[in-house]
Structure 1
Amino acid sequence: MNSVTTANLENIEGIVKLDCEIIGNMSRRKHIEKIVGEGRCLIIKEEDEVQAFLLFDTNFFECSFISLIIVSKSARRKGYATALISSFENIAPTQKIFSSTNQSNTNMQKVFEFNGFVRSGYVENLDDGDPEIIYFKLI
């Protein structure tokens, strides 16, 4: 696995391509462009292709928040999400890190728990019948 780096404008096409492969559309392109431009995106590349990325901000009650982690289907179960989380912990602007995932996303729940996050609550009504579980870690 290649190392985690901060994305730059040259990486946007690869990030958007990967995002589109996973969610089936390019609806987050402008958001990704903004986040990358602000230096709030970490990536892992393999053979010049973006294989995984993490987006973050500090808009969650002034705490660090991992808003999105995407790993390509071919790179899953290889430690990419853990590598991104670990790298983010080293640069996080706050000691408190939060993130979330749907109740139906048991794989991501396992990733958070493996990386020392604990459940901190949930939010109903974002996705019908699929509550969002909030995770927390103090670094």
Structure 2
Amino acid sequence: MPALGKKARLGVGLMKIMTAQITDIQSIVQIDCEVIGNSSRLDLIENAIKQERCILVKEKNEVAAFSIYDTSFFECTFISLLIVSPAKRRKGYASQMLNELVRISPTKKVFSSTNRSNESMQKVFIANGFVESGIVENLDEGDPEIIYFKAK
């Protein structure tokens, strides 16, 4: 995927979307910890930053959201994480990141997923032109993962 570079690629008002830098890791892990309750994805986040596969949204120079992606899902772009700080939700950050990731995707097909119980994220996908593409059972007990797709 083309890197966004160290400078902001997309800035709307006080919001900027940019490629995460290693200096952002503490802020990113803090947001992830707020959402999942632990820092177990530290290595995953660090590797994504080093490989320039992590983008983030900054609001007033503070990390408000981040996303991690790769191209190992059947040689298509897959957005594996899209996390918005609980205190920063409902400001359009998830939509902005989705749109930027589709824009810079090196593949013509972009996929992502969310649990059936995550109705908020399902609405974000649908509002941004993603369509349901399948369901994966048995990842989280009793809460299937819905796969979403968007063509570039």
TM-score (normalizing by structure 1): 0.97
The equivalent residue for 2:42 is 29
**Residues 1-139 of structure 1 aligned to structure 2 (within 5 Å):** 1-139=14-152
| Inter-partner Cα distance in structure 2 for 1:26 and 1:47 | 25
Deviation at 1:47, TM superposition (A): 2.9
Q: Any runs of at least 4 consecutive aligned residues in structure 1 with deviations exceeding 6 A, and if so which?
A: none
Q: Deviations over 1:28-71 (max 9, x none)?
A: 00000000000001101123321000110001000000001000
Deviation at 1:21, TM superposition (A): 0.9
Number of matched residues? 139
* SS in structure 2 of the partner of residue 19 of structure 1: helix
Q: CA contact under 8 A between 2:16 and 2:59: conserved in structure 1?
A: no
Deviation at 1:87, TM superposition (A): 1.0
Using the aligned pairs only, state the percent identity: 56
Amino acid aligned to 2:119: T
TM-score (normalizing by structure 2): 0.89
* SS in structure 2 of the partner of residue 44 of structure 1: strand
Deviation at 1:90, TM superposition (A): 1.6
